[in-house]
Chain A
């Protein structure tokens, strides 16, 4: 069996950008510090040299203007990729994403479309404090007309970004910064991941754990430990938060009947609650125990390491939730 090449998520995103920009002259990138330095996290390395300044634009610090420009350029036939240096800065671009990109097609009665990608890192877990550490996916799941993606592996990151660029709808892609340097296998060739299709990252018959981005690795780590105790987790990575592959989650619940949903944004109004509500809408009868959500506390993200760890969901929080749906004492030492 041939070994797959291993690259980091940042390298995978970079490959996706190189490939899509080479294949389609209407794709261009705009963002802060993306050209000359190749991006703060090297996601856009080499693009300026290869494609030139017309297609790789180091913009002024103007999130509203560059996201608006992305909308406008997409209306006339381009496929822009707008990078937000930290996803928190999306607040400055919200009017263009929510009131424009998401709604332009609908308001026109389907006469136009907005093939725009807005992407950037969630930089929590490294002590950047409250304004540089938010996990805001729930805002965009809550906005009709947007596609919302969150990759957990380099292969998914590359595949989803390529699909996002090719899709004719406005896509918001949130990446976890701590995953940028983590390597993983990558298939060769024009590797795309379909939007709206979840991935079963691990099969198991006892508990369904739906996890996004960083949570996937946490769930897999939990799974390894619990397997030794005879509890088998099935880990489902939605990859697309919207459109959500609910069928994949329901198929899993037909086996397990026990649901835990892990998402790093704040608990209230978060994505995890949305998944549970949808499962309850469609298949309440499948549930053998009250479903559990694992999420951050409803606080801004604090600076000090102990405080940040207390707020963000961790392995123990996940194990506690699994304990609740199984009725077992699953935490080691408990």
Chain B
């Protein structure tokens, strides 16, 4: 079953972040916990980790996109 990579609030006030750099590409095998993407919030840059192991099947938010907290950055499919 596919798992969404969701932008979570790293602090209470975070509402949006913009995608700075994808550290892995579509089609890559990824492991739960590894850093997938670097995003820039208003106070700091931080990384979002893979919530599951599998294949990074679809990147939904490309470099430059602004995403709301709770929004989906990418999808991971089982290998």
Q: Give yes or no for direct A-B contact (beta carbon below 8 Å).
A: yes
Asked if B63 contacts A306 (CB within 8 A), the reply is no
Please give me the residue from chain A that is nearest to B68 by CB atom: A315
Can you list 10 A-B contacts (CB < 8 A)? A126-B43, A178-B40, A182-B21, A183-B21, A184-B63, A217-B64, A217-B65, A221-B62, A305-B13, A309-B15
Q: Would you call B29 an interface residue if the criterion is a C-beta within 8 Å of the partner chain's C-beta atoms?
A: no
Known: A127-B43, A181-B45, A182-B21. A218 touches B66 (CB 8 A): yes
Please give me the residue from chain A that is nearest to B64 by CB atom: A217
In whole angstroms, how far apart are the Cα atoms of A178 and B38 in the complex?
13
Contacts of B40 in A (CB 8 A): 178, 181-182
CB-contact partner of B66 in A127, A221, A224, A305, under 8 A: A221
Q: Would you call A125 an interface residue if the criterion is a C-beta within 8 Å of the partner chain's C-beta atoms?
A: yes
In the complex, chain A residues 299-331 whose Cβ is within 8 Å of any chain B Cβ: 305-306, 308-309, 314-315
Contacts of B26 in A (CB 8 A): none
Q: Would you call A75 an interface residue if the criterion is a C-beta within 8 Å of the partner chain's C-beta atoms?
A: no
Q: Would you call A129 an interface residue if the criterion is a C-beta within 8 Å of the partner chain's C-beta atoms?
A: no
In whole angstroms, how far apart are the Cα atoms of A314 and B20 in the complex?
17
Q: Would you call B18 an interface residue if the criterion is a C-beta within 8 Å of the partner chain's C-beta atoms?
A: yes
| CB of B20, distance to nearest CB on chain A (Å) | 5
Asked if A306 contacts B42 (CB within 8 A), the reply is no
In whole angstroms, how far apart are the Cα atoms of A249 and B41 in the complex?
33
Query: A127-B42, A306-B13, A306-B15 known; 16 other A-B pairs, CB under 8 Å?
Result: A125-B42, A126-B42, A127-B43, A178-B40, A181-B40, A181-B45, A182-B40, A217-B18, A217-B64, A221-B65, A221-B66, A305-B42, A308-B42, A309-B15, A309-B16, A314-B66
In whole angstroms, how far apart are the Cα atoms of A325 and B42 in the complex?
31
Q: How many residues of A contact B (CB 8 A)?
A: 19
Contacts of A184 in B (CB 8 A): 63
Please give me the residue from chain A that is nearest to B45 by CB atom: A181
| CB of A301, distance to nearest CB on chain B (Å) | 12
Asked if A182 contacts B15 (CB within 8 A), the reply is no
Please give me the residue from chain A that is nearest to B44 by CB atom: A126
Known: A178-B40, A305-B13. A315 touches B64 (CB 8 A): no
In whole angstroms, how far apart are the Cα atoms of A250 and B15 in the complex?
37
CB-contact partner of B20 in A183, A305, A309, under 8 A: A183
Asked if A182 contacts B20 (CB within 8 A), the reply is yes
| CB of A319, distance to nearest CB on chain B (Å) | 12
In whole angstroms, how far apart are the Cα atoms of A224 and B65 in the complex?
10
Q: How many residues of B contact A (CB 8 A)?
A: 15
In whole angstroms, how far apart are the Cα atoms of A126 and B43 in the complex?
6
Contacts of A217 in B (CB 8 A): 18, 64-65
Q: Would you call A220 an interface residue if the criterion is a C-beta within 8 Å of the partner chain's C-beta atoms?
A: yes
| CB of A33, distance to nearest CB on chain B (Å) | 21
Per-position contact with A for B50-79: 1 when CB-CB < 8 Å, else 0? Answer: 000000000000111110000000000000
In the complex, chain A residues 254-309 whose Cβ is within 8 Å of any chain B Cβ: 305-306, 308-309
Asked if B45 contacts A221 (CB within 8 A), the reply is no
Please give me the residue from chain B that is nearest to A221 by CB atom: B65
Per-position contact with B for A163-188: 1 when CB-CB < 8 Å, else 0? Answer: 00000000000000010011110000
Contacts of B45 in A (CB 8 A): 181
In whole angstroms, how far apart are the Cα atoms of A220 and B63 in the complex?
10
Known: A127-B42, A305-B42, A306-B15. A220 touches B20 (CB 8 A): no
Of B42, B45, B63, the most chain A CB neighbours within 10 A belong to B42
Contacts of A306 in B (CB 8 A): 13, 15
In whole angstroms, how far apart are the Cα atoms of A224 and B64 in the complex?
12
Please give me the residue from chain B that is nearest to A183 by CB atom: B21
In whole angstroms, how far apart are the Cα atoms of A314 and B65 in the complex?
11
Known: A127-B43, A181-B45, A182-B21. A305 touches B15 (CB 8 A): yes
In whole angstroms, how far apart are the Cα atoms of A178 and B42 in the complex?
9
| CB of A296, distance to nearest CB on chain B (Å) | 15
